[in-house]
Each structure stands twice: as C-alpha cells, then as structure tokens.
C-alpha cells in the first residue's frame, strides 16, 4: 500500500496527506513552495496547514511576517492515533450504552463467503452461558461432507471451550464422521433439515457452497420453536 493511502487510512484527508508528504520532502518551506510542490489551491493548502498544526504534525516559525512550515516527525502520527484511541476508549462505555438501548431483541444478519461463515458461527456461540445447549442438524452435501466436518472439528474446540452441551442429528451414512468427537449424536434415514444450528436464542442457517451463504437470526420465539422441532425428531429417533 502506498504511503499516501496509509495516511488517509489513519485519518488524513487526501489534501492533508499530500501536503504532509510534500513538507517531509521539502524539509522547511513557505506556503508558496508547498502550493507548487503539492499542486493544490492556495486556500486548500492554508486550510490543511492549520489542521495539521492543530494535530501536532506541522510547526512553523515567523520571520519578517512570513511563516515557514516544517513537518514534524512521522512518529507523531503514532502519538495522534494513540490519543484518538484513548479518547475512544473513554467514550466506549457511553457508546455501548446507546447501542444496547437501540438494539432490539430480534434481528437477522446475512453472511457471505468463508470468512463470513466463520464469523457467523463465532457469533452464534458468542456471549453464551457455560453448559448451554448447542443443537444442530448436520450439513450434508455429497462430495463435500468430509471437508465440511473438517471445519466443524476445529469448531468443536470453540464449543468445548465454552463448555457447551452439543447434540446433533445426522443421516446414518455420515455416522463415521462423528466418531470420537465427544458429541451426542442420533442418526436416521428419515429426511431431516440441513445445516441448521441452534444455541440459546440464536439460529444459524448455512448454505454450503463454493461461496458459503448464511443467516443468523436472534429470536427467542423462533429458537424455542426450532429447539422443540429438533427434540421432536430427536425423541422419535430414540424410539426407532
């Protein structure tokens, strides 16, 4: 990533970045030289110089009524970011309070791609109580089941880390994929839903493809209904 883009990423405007970089090369310069070097308009240069001075990234001296500007060390950019971080951390409790007041008890989020899938399943078990139930109808797609369960074997570690009680329902032909996993499983030949997980008041639906696509729903009513549906099948399989 080029240097100007980095400066813009940490809070410089494009014009501020251009002027700061010009001053770094010039060393010390009057406004006219900065205008010539940056190619920016007079008014823009003077406005941005004032902003950079306020940020502690540019200083100046006055001689004969004329200002000569100097760029401060780039290390001051780290200081500026640290100060902003400190201000944000101080404001965070109030920001969280406002966010919690605005968030409703029901919501739906959409996730796409492999990273999106990973985030969805992490959020499904985020902030859950220890020993909560995690119920699932297994993913089932011919030719990809081993690949899918390799991902969920890694996910097993996260579920164990949160001490979740995991129960699953899967087709009998997939039984070998769950050996030694420490998961309470029941297997059946009857038609069952695919790729649905329930934990506390959240439900995750996943379409497993080259580009995974999923929904995460938070709803106590829907999760209670889906949990009852799961146990209806679970108990029927137990009678077979």
Question: How many domains is the chain built from?
Answer: 2
Q: How many CB atoms lie within 10 A of CB 91?
A: 10
Structure tokens at 102: 């605005």
pTM strictly above 0.75: no
CATH number of the CATH domain containing 30: 1.10.10.10
- pLDDT at residue number 212: 84
Same domain, 21 and 132: no
Q: Answer whether 214's CB lies under 8 Å from 120's CB.
A: yes
Rounded distance, CA 100 to CA 110, Å?
Answer: 20
In a domain, 91, yes or no: no
CATH number of the CATH domain containing 135: 3.30.870.10
Same domain, 70 and 118: no
Same domain, 69 and 172: no
Q: Answer whether 194's CB lies under 8 Å from 211's CB.
A: no
Same domain, 13 and 67: yes
Q: Answer whether 227's CB lies under 8 Å from 167's CB.
A: no
Same domain, 233 and 150: yes
Q: Answer whether 141's CB lies under 8 Å from 149's CB.
A: no
Q: What is the span of the domain harbouring residue 44?
A: 3-74
Q: pLDDT in tens for each of the 240 residues of the chain?
A: 689 999 898 889 999 999 999 999 998 899 999 999 999 999 999 999 999 999 889 999 998 889 999 999 999 899 888 888 888 899 988 888 777 665 556 789 999 988 898 899 999 998 899 999 999 998 766 656 677 777 888 888 899 998 999 999 999 988 888 888 888 999 999 999 989 999 999 999 998 777 888 999 999 999 999 999 999 999 999 877
Same domain, 33 and 107: no
Same domain, 48 and 116: no
In a domain, 86, yes or no: no
In a domain, 97, yes or no: no
Same domain, 69 and 116: no
């Amino acid at each position: 990533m080029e240097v100007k883009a980095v400066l813009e990423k940490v809070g410089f405007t494009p014009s501020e970045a251009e002027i700061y970089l010009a001053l770094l090369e010039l060393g010390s310069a009057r406004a006219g030289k900065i205008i010539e070097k940056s190619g920016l308009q007079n008014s823009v240069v003077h406005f941005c110089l004032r902003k950079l001075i306020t940020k502690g990234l540019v200083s100046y001296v006055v001689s004969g009524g004329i200002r000569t500007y100097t760029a401060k060390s780039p290390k001051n950019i780290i200081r500026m970011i640290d100060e902003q971080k400190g201000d944000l951390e101080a404001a965070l409790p109030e920001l969280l309070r406002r966010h919690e007041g605005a968030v409703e008890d029901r919501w739906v989020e959409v996730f796409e791609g492999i990273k999106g899938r990973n985030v969805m399943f992490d959020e499904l078990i985020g902030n859950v109580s220890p020993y909560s139930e995690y119920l699932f109808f297994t993913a089932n797609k011919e030719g990809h089941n081993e690949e899918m369960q390799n991902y969920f074997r890694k996910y097993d570690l996260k579920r164990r880390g949160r001490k979740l009680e995991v129960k699953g329902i899967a087709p009998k032909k997939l039984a070998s994929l769950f050996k030694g996993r420490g998961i309470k499983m029941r297997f059946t030949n009857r038609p069952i839903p695919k790729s649905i997980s329930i934990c506390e008041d959240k439900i995750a639906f996943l379409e497993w493809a080259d580009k995974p696509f999923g929904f995460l729903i938070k709803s106590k009513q829907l999760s209670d209904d889906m949990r009852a549906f799961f146990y209806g099948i679970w108990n029927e399989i137990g009678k077979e």
